[in-house]
Structure 1
Amino acid sequence: MAGGSWPVGGGEVGAMLRAWSGAETPLGPPPQWPERLKSTLQLVLASPTPMVMFWGESGLLLYNDAYAVIAGAKHPAILGCNLLDAWPEVTDLHDEVMRTVFAGGSPLSYRDLPLVLHRNGVAEDVWLNVDYSPIFGDSGVALGVLAVVTETTALVGAQRERDAAEQALRRREQQLAQVQKIGKVGGLEVDLRDGFRNRRSPEYLLIHGLPPEAEHESHEDWVRRIHPQERSMVESHFRETVLGTARDYQIEYRIVRPSDGAVRWISALAQIERDESGRALRLIGAHLDITERKEAEAQQRLLMQELAHRVKNTLAMIQAIASQTLRGATSLEAANETFSARLAALSRAHDLLVAGQRANAPMAGIAESVVGLQGDAQRFTIGGPDLVVGPRPALALTLVLHELATNAVKYGALSNQTGRVALSWRVDEIEGVSHFRLRWQESGGPPVVAPSRRGFGSRLIERTFPSQGARSESAFLSTGLVFTLDAPLDALKDGDGENDPG
């Protein structure tokens, strides 16, 4: 007979149970069920927490409205059914529960238990927190199992999304760190909401010569690392930028690296995030070590200055050659021939300088370039120690040797078929000062006669080494010309002065 007064309340499930006639389960009408079953089920029906009872050995399913939501489309068909018939897709789990909790009298608990349920007609991944407890009778024998069930599917899904997002973030951070390492870019973040709270990337720490524990160094630590000559300017610029309205921050400055005391150039680029009122919230930036670039720029400036100086000297040298050539020429044709030859010698000297290191030239190269273009190289004996000559002396020596060789071809040892020239140089110590000594000696040529005026070479030597203690001498012996040059060695290495050769 339907329409009993028990259970009291219990929502939809309670109403269904009150409407049962007794034929729905082997237990008969609900009001006649065992008192322990009724008292326990009354508590279950009144609870807002999802609860289900497995009663007896077959695990008769009795639950509340909250559990009905978890059961999905299986409710209400499974109310009063045997456990294994109601949930065949999780038979192994329920066999374990009945063995351990019902037969063994021991509780079981699971957290975020992954299951595949067919509660809505299709396989569905579900996660549950379940606590199983035995329901004991007065004799201490288990009469059933009470399960408190909480579905955590949404929480697990959200956690998985968070985990996936965190993993993706970690991968991006690792990729960013790798990119920073490859590009040697140091990343930094500064929280500007309340003072300066810093976070530095590993590459930043490497660039600045800092240990790993300096990841959160203070603002004052950064300021102390700035080069003393720029410290005030750099910090003032930083504070003014933060307190202003700009969103971009850029500066180049020097630091003294703590790890080795080296002075390094830093290029800082950053963006400042601001709120609607313009107040600075956060700075995200990158630091680059631009020391090599700065050194290259300085070297380029030096080279440009040296180029300008070299052009100036060359033009002055050409002016002097032209002036001296025209003063000593007997005709326009002779002047043209002599001037062209001297310019060719000057050009060859420049070729040597370009080929040399730091615009210097080897003495052996100067000698061979001049001699090799004046006749048969077999008629020359060349010898001397390895010696590198500075740019300005190299030009002068090239022109002097060219002048000597030209005169030898016209009037001296190279004007016949048997004459020879010996060119040698050495370095002597005179009163603690190293002196360069060059000797040009002709032999086997026709008798030579001293010229009536001083030659081009003598005047060039005087103009190239003014006030340097250099002197030259030409001896017109019966056996041939002997030309000697004596100059402090430093004058040949550093003789690239600003003195006008004309």
Structure 2
Amino acid sequence: MGLATARPGASFIGSGATAEAIAAKDWSATSLGEPEQWPQSLRVALELCLHSAFPMVIFWGRDLSLLYNDAYHAFLTDKHPRALGQPAREVWPEIWDVIGPMLHGVLADGKATRSEDLQLHLMRNGRREEGYFTFSYSPIPDDDGTVGGVFCPVVETTERVIGERRLRTLRDLTALGRAETDADACRTAVDALSADAFDLPFVLIYCFDERRSRATLVAASGVAAGRRASPMEIRFGEETEDIWGLAKVAGREAGRTELRELGEEFGDLPKGEWSSPPTEAALVPIVLPGEDRPAAAMIAAVSPRKRWDSAYSYFFDRVAAKIGSAMCDARVYAAERKRAEEIRSREAALRRTEAELREAQRLGRIGSWRWSGRIDDGGDASEHLSSIFGLDPAIPLPSFAQQKGLLYAPDVWKRLNAAMQKTLQTGRGFDLDLPARRADGASIWITIRAEAVRDESGEIVGLRSTVQDITERRQAQEQVELLMHEVTHRAKNLLTVVRAVARQTARKDSPANFAELFDQRIAALGASHDLLVQNDWRGVDLHEMTRSQLAHFRDLFGSRIRVDGRAVMVRPAAAQALGMALHELATNAGKYGALSSDEGMVRISFGVQREDGAPWFVMAWRESGGPPVIPPERPGFGQMVIVQMAKHALGGDVALDYAPTGVVWEIRAPLENVIETTGGDA
């Protein structure tokens, strides 16, 4: 952990590029002003943000100015570092119509929001791109109790959302019914592809004749047939303009996807789901299984909001492969000639499909299961389903009745059985997240998606389902929730102390006195907080904390200030209370007590004592050699801190004696309330 410093008063704890940029920036020209004037709540939130490896951003003030950490750079790209301190409306004008009302809503009512897979089209590296994000907007209280800003952890889910969308498209293609001709197969496929106008703003499929001298448009989606970009027929080598260059595709032996720029010669093009037309299209050969040359070509527009990459290319290749398989099936049903060859092609295609399915099941941790509905039947399961439950794939699954207690707890089995029986009765499928256990006893979480199986007459004869292992996702979700609860808890505790300090300080002091005393007390609280942060909230060394709270008397240590005691680590809650108490005692000693003269001394001691066999923490502050002590006429905030606050925080007893020879303060508390122990006494 480093300290990035640009000039006096502008220092931030952090070691990343953003921390250095914040420290180096001239903030005087921004609405946030100089960092030393920033509210304490903002500084605390910013410190949490800078130390997180998770992308986080803070929107502060009426302008919702941006502060963020290194991980957030992935969303800003070339907008960093100029986005630092700038109003959110200027940083994100392209999505302000979406996030602006959400942010102002949090400022207005103080209620947090959560968005999952929200579509936001960001301008990144000079191009507006399709994006999806999961994030939350949480209010950050200002020091006066109002909402001062918004805290936002965010994760980009673009690749997953787009991947799932493309997988649905491929699944829909796989589920197509039988076609009688090539043209029917292509039209049916294009009808399915039209549902994904995000990835495919328009699609054209041209089939080649046997001599590959002509291309005929057989299917189109998103664009009407017969237009400039979609001629009904192209005769190669004749006067007909081959605007797409399909002659080269038809004569090519090995299939290879080509990318074409869409200029003015293609005329007005459809936009699909976007506000602007595509600028690129892919020419994808459609090669039937078992053949060398393409039988057709698919012209598919590339989304104007997504860059062409290997994943996009793979998606188009798989679409073409699915269409090729559909055309192959159509030829099998349309003619009996070349029957043996076509059967081999179908078997090869089936093997590839099964291999892809097994690979998809392995990568997605998904198994499949088909069940007759009889409780004494174990059903038919895929190899990966046995792997999920730690069973031997060579041995049939235990019957569903035997799975009770073996794979599912009785109450979970009862819930699953009820869902399956309902599906067998009504035909409606179900989707359940359930706890389960492997054969070795290890606990897991699974998602079961099931539907009814019907025979040719429509009667329900069983059930089929997929079973996905979601253990890691579930554990990750629980971990994120735990961390968010912990951050919220600590922030609330700190803000509670700050509010108490403010109320007590302002109760009887003038405004000028309040400002000085409040600043000093917050600084004392901040010193303890800094030490806790440096130690990842695992505690604070008591010697180090004492020197930190008495830093303005550092030249007196060893001569007029003595600290006796073994090195011990104080718990976070105790550290804040003891730190505030030491600050108040030192302030009083410097104004009226032993440290206000040239000869007075202060002795601070701490350690562990046993009473009735139980360990107790004891600490004392003893002054001597100073002016005669005059007890205060009435107790003030300082006395409340060193007596009541310390007593409440440590759960012990506090004694304060205004002896004429010097103030004596003692505290005793159960050891486990104060000191971090590792198995023995400190």
Normalising to structure 1: TM-score of the pair?
Answer: 0.54
The answer as to 2:385 corresponding to 1:204 is: yes
* CA separation of 1:168 and 1:342: change in aligned 2, threshold 3 A: same
How many angstroms apart in 1 are the aligned matches of 2:515 and 2:465? Answer: 70
- What residue is the counterpart of 2:420 in the other structure? 238
SS at match of 2:526: helix
* CA separation of 1:429 and 1:214: change in aligned 2, threshold 3 A: farther
Q: Percent identity, please.
A: 32
- What residue is the counterpart of 2:608 in the other structure? 427
Which of 501, 504, 507 aligns to 1:324? It is 504
Q: Contact 2:378 / 2:400 at 8 angstroms: preserved in 1? A: yes
- What residue is the counterpart of 1:226 in the other structure? 408
The Cα of 1:230 is off from its aligned counterpart by 2.8
* CA separation of 1:449 and 1:220: change in aligned 2, threshold 3 A: same
- What residue is the counterpart of 1:258 in the other structure? 439
How many angstroms apart in 1 are the aligned matches of 2:444 and 2:495? Answer: 40
- What residue is the counterpart of 1:3 in the other structure? none
Report 1:94-493 matches (<5 A). Answer: 169=350, 173-174=354-355, 176-183=357-364, 185-192=365-372, 197-224=378-405, 225-247=407-429, 249-259=430-440, 261-270=441-450, 272-274=452-454, 277=458, 279=460, 281-290=462-471, 292-305=472-485, 309-310=489-490, 312-327=492-507, 329=509, 331-357=510-536, 361-364=540-543, 366-372=545-551, 375-376=554-555, 378=557, 381-382=562-563, 384-385=565-566, 387-415=568-596, 421-442=602-623, 446-454=627-635, 456=637, 458-460=639-641, 461-463=643-645, 465-466=647-648, 470-476=652-658, 480-492=662-674
Q: How many residues get paired?
A: 334
How many angstroms apart in 2 are the aligned matches of 1:281 and 1:403? Answer: 76
The Cα of 1:215 is off from its aligned counterpart by 4.6
How many angstroms apart in 2 are the aligned matches of 1:159 and 1:445? Answer: 110
SS at match of 1:435: strand
Q: Contact 2:427 / 2:451 at 8 angstroms: preserved in 1? A: no
Q: Contact 1:462 / 1:470 at 8 angstroms: preserved in 2? A: no
- Greater Rg over alpha carbons, structure: 1
The Cα of 1:229 is off from its aligned counterpart by 3.8
The Cα of 1:280 is off from its aligned counterpart by 5.5
- What residue is the counterpart of 2:88 in the other structure? none
- Structure 2: gaps (5+ residues): 1-337, 677-682
Letter in 2 for 1:367: T
How many angstroms apart in 2 are the aligned matches of 1:369 and 1:274? Answer: 76
How many angstroms apart in 1 are the aligned matches of 2:454 and 2:476? Answer: 37
* CA separation of 1:243 and 1:334: change in aligned 2, threshold 3 A: same
Query: What do the CA deviations read for 1:432-465 (whole angstroms, capped 9, x no partner)?
Result: 2221112334466555444344454553343454
The Cα of 1:411 is off from its aligned counterpart by 2.8
Letter in 1 for 2:401: E
The Cα of 1:287 is off from its aligned counterpart by 1.6
SS at match of 2:379: strand
* CA separation of 1:377 and 1:406: change in aligned 2, threshold 3 A: same
How many angstroms apart in 1 are the aligned matches of 2:570 and 2:521? Answer: 20
* CA separation of 1:467 and 1:371: change in aligned 2, threshold 3 A: closer
The Cα of 1:288 is off from its aligned counterpart by 1.3
- What residue is the counterpart of 1:31 in the other structure? none
The Cα of 1:160 is off from its aligned counterpart by 7.8
Letter in 2 for 1:438: M
Query: What do the CA deviations read for 1:94-115 (whole angstroms, capped 9, x no partner)?
Result: xxxxxxxxxxxxxxxxxxxxxx
- What residue is the counterpart of 2:293 in the other structure? none
The Cα of 1:487 is off from its aligned counterpart by 0.7
Q: Contact 1:201 / 1:215 at 8 angstroms: preserved in 2? A: no
How many angstroms apart in 2 are the aligned matches of 1:304 and 1:180? Answer: 33
- What residue is the counterpart of 1:69 in the other structure? none
Q: Contact 1:274 / 1:281 at 8 angstroms: preserved in 2? A: yes
* 206-215 or 484-493, which deviates more: 206-215
The Cα of 1:254 is off from its aligned counterpart by 1.2
Query: What do the CA deviations read for 1:342-391 (whole angstroms, capped 9, x no partner)?
Result: 22323344444445446755545543432336654856555644544444
How many angstroms apart in 2 are the aligned matches of 1:269 and 1:417? Answer: 81
How many angstroms apart in 1 are the aligned matches of 2:537 and 2:451? Answer: 43
Q: Contact 1:399 / 1:457 at 8 angstroms: preserved in 2? A: no
Q: Contact 2:654 / 2:666 at 8 angstroms: preserved in 1? A: yes
The Cα of 1:405 is off from its aligned counterpart by 2.2
**Aligned Cα root-mean-square deviation (Å):** 4.1
* CA separation of 1:308 and 1:289: change in aligned 2, threshold 3 A: closer
Letter in 2 for 1:343: I
How many angstroms apart in 2 are the aligned matches of 1:472 and 1:222? Answer: 61
The Cα of 1:471 is off from its aligned counterpart by 1.6
SS at match of 1:230: helix
Q: Contact 1:474 / 1:482 at 8 angstroms: preserved in 2? A: yes
How many angstroms apart in 2 are the aligned matches of 1:381 and 1:314? Answer: 30
The Cα of 1:200 is off from its aligned counterpart by 3.5
Report 1:66-81 matches (<5 A). Answer: none
* 265-274 or 336-345, which deviates more: 265-274
How many angstroms apart in 1 are the aligned matches of 2:452 and 2:568? Answer: 59
Query: What do the CA deviations read for 1:210-257 (whole angstroms, capped 9, x no partner)?
Result: 33445533222333322234332222123213432334x311111233
Q: Contact 1:186 / 1:202 at 8 angstroms: preserved in 2? A: no
- What residue is the counterpart of 2:331 in the other structure? none
- Structure 1: gaps (5+ residues): 1-156, 495-502
* CA separation of 1:280 and 1:450: change in aligned 2, threshold 3 A: farther
Q: Contact 1:321 / 1:339 at 8 angstroms: preserved in 2? A: yes
Q: Contact 2:373 / 2:424 at 8 angstroms: preserved in 1? A: no
Q: Contact 1:396 / 1:464 at 8 angstroms: preserved in 2? A: yes
SS at match of 1:393: helix
The Cα of 1:162 is off from its aligned counterpart by 6.1
Q: Which has the higher contact order (CA 8 A, sep 6+)?
A: 1
- What residue is the counterpart of 1:145 in the other structure? none
* CA separation of 1:215 and 1:440: change in aligned 2, threshold 3 A: farther
How many angstroms apart in 2 are the aligned matches of 1:389 and 1:404? Answer: 19
* CA separation of 1:390 and 1:467: change in aligned 2, threshold 3 A: closer
